[in-house]
Structure formats: structure tokens, C-alpha cells
Amino acid sequence: MLLSATPRSARLARLLTDAHLRDWGHDSEAARHVVAELTANAVTHGRVPGRNFRLAFYVVGHTLRIEVTDTRGDRLPQRRPPGPDAESGRGLLLVEALADRWGVSEDRSPRKTVWAELRLTPPEPEIRNSGASSGPPNKNLGERTPPSPTPPAHGQ
């Protein structure tokens, strides 16, 4: 997807990623955070007026690969510990903490692609009810319910 290099597009990228992952049967909060950070960096540090950034993501096996390409190949991302009072500068630290791997691919000038890979848990199989039910659902199918005690007969 090509998106304009604006904060609004960075938010849209996160929402689109979330929608696609849900359509594919995955729910990954980590992926949403990684996309938010990488696209925010593209908009903030990789922006060239009039040029877009590109978001691509795909799943191979159980690995999600996220790629964000911008047009500032001369500005490679650098992890730097932020000062204790800094209001920004923690994005790549967050990406590093959430992703299994991440890095930068230098493309033909003037582009670069920052990528991250995250392991996804397999989607839960969908359980469908056949509609044939003869009573209330059994919560613990592996447990037997003991019979109810029989009340004592009168006069005993």
C-alpha cells in the first residue's frame, strides 16, 4: 500500500494491518505496535515532501513480515537510549522488544526499507455447532456429574 507521509496515514496503516490480520485469522497486538512505530518513523524521519511511503506485510507459515519503505535512504534508523525526560525516541526499542527480528534493507537510492518479523500463533480452528442438541451444553465433557442424592423416604 502506498500512503502519504502524514501522521494520519501512519494511523491508517495500523488500522489496515489490524483489519487484514483479523481477516486472515490472526490477532496480534505486537504487530499493531510495530506497524505504528515503523510508519511513524517513516512519516517523521523518512519524509520527503510530495513522496509517499509504502507498507507491505505478509504471512509465511507462522511468521508475519512487515516492511515500511520511505524515500530517505540517507537516514538509516539508529537505536539510541532516550534521555529520562525525552518524550520520544523509544520506537525502535519497542520494535526490538516485540519483533523476533528486524533490520534495514537499503534499496536503490533514495529508498530504504525497515522490516520486522513476528511469530504469529496459529489461528484457532472455528468450531461450528451442528445444530443437533438434545439438551444444555456440557461445559466439562471429560467429567462425569455424580448422580443427585435420593431423598430419604418418609418415616426413615
pLDDT in tens, 93-113: 889 999 999 999 987 778 899
Whether pLDDT at 137 is above 60: no
Q: Are 70 and 46 in contact (CB under 8 A)?
A: yes
Assign 125 a pLDDT band (cuts: 50, 70, 90).
low
Assign 126 a pLDDT band (cuts: 50, 70, 90).
low
| Joined grid coordinates for residue 53 | 511511503
Provide the whole-model pTM: 0.72
- d(CA 84, CA 81) in angstroms, rounded, equals 9
Sequence-ordered alpha helix ranges (H) in 24-153: 29-45, 91-98
Which letter does DSSP use for residue 57 in this model? E
pLDDT above 90 covers a percentage of the chain that reads 38
pLDDT in tens, 35-58: 999 999 999 888 888 788 999 999
Better-predicted residue by pLDDT, 122 or 34: 34
